[in-house]
Amino acid sequence: MPLDLNDVPNLGLPPTISDVIAKHLRNAIVTGQLHEGEPIRQDEVAAMFKVSKIPVREALKHLEAEGLVAFQRNRGAVVHSLSESEIVQIYEVRAMLESNAMRLSVPRMTPATLERAQRLCDEFAQEHDPFRWAELHWAFHSCLYQDAQRPFLMNLIQSINNRTERYLHIQLTRDGGRDTADTEHQALVDACRRDDADEAARLVHEHIMAACELLRRHLPQPDAQDGAAGKGGA
């Protein structure tokens, strides 16, 4: 997987090797190359990057904080698995927080934000590279919320989104999910253009919960995940 060393957020500082490793592993998890429950071999990752295990452990700890990795006794680091109940709860919290962020943002939304939101909406609709879907999806949604001027709320929303990025591919490739997402994204932009905060909040809540319901219908069964484990690699 190609690595973009300039695409690792670190408060404006150059990325460390642990940042680069975390980005690589995050991409592997989000795109399904590493499956839920699959162990992440620290020695193999260290050998891949020609480093000691220290930056690998740092990267894994960062991913643990994001909810993507768990440390298990006798197994070490594994890709964190979420139950269906946990996934539903995460989406419910997303819907509540993001609809509130939308309601706060719309009255303050600038023409520049609307222009950028439309551009991102169009770019997401035209993007065929699955490796960019999660990046563009977050860029679009966060653009709509940024004028709320609630940095703590935005950080919380991003943290929660990090936990569900891995399921975006399922949402977009089942039951016409891609076309539905594009239509709903455009409806969100249109509501913002009309300065209709309540409608925009309602639409984003429905958008998230509809994605949750689609995901529930297509979640891999535990035995299927177990069978898939070991096929991917970091």
- Asked if the model's pLDDT at residue 231 lies above 60, the reply is no
* Number of residues assigned to the chain: 234
Residue 95: the pLDDT is: 97
pLDDT at 226: 44
pLDDT tens, 10-44? 445 678 999 999 988 988 887 778 888 899 999 99
pLDDT band at residue 229 using 50, 70 and 90 as cut-offs: very low
Q: Which residues fall within 8 angstroms of residue 164, CB to CB, at 6 or more apart?
A: 87, 90, 91, 94
What's 17-81's CATH class? mainly alpha
State pTM to two decimals.
0.76
Cα distance between residue 210 and residue 36, in whole Å: 23
**Residue spans of beta strands (DSSP E) within the chain:** 69-72, 76-79
What pLDDT is attached to residue 12? 53
In whole angstroms, give the CA distance from residue 184 to residue 144: 13
- Encoded tokens for 100: 């509130």
**Could you tell me which residues come within 8 angstroms of residue 6 by beta carbon, excluding any fewer than 6 positions away?**
15
Answer yes or no: is pLDDT of 159 > 60: yes
Q: Which residue bears the tokens 């690589």?
A: 24
Give the model confidence (pLDDT) of 84-100 as tens digits: 899 999 999 999 999 99
Task: Write down the pLDDT at residue 11.
Answer: 45
- DSSP bridge pairs for 71: 77
Confidence of residue 1 (pLDDT cuts 50, 70, 90): very low
Of 65-79, 101-115, 196-210, the one with minimum mean pLDDT is 65-79
Between these two residues, 168 and 108, which has the higher pLDDT value? 108
User: Which single residue is written with the structure tokens 């995940």?
Assistant: 225
CB pairs under 8 A, 24+ apart, for 113-119?
113/143, 113/144, 113/146, 113/147, 114/189, 114/192, 114/193, 116/143, 117/143, 117/144, 117/188, 117/189, 117/192, 118/189
- CATH number belonging to domain 84-218: 1.20.120.530
Q: Where are the domains of the chain?
A: 17-81, 84-218
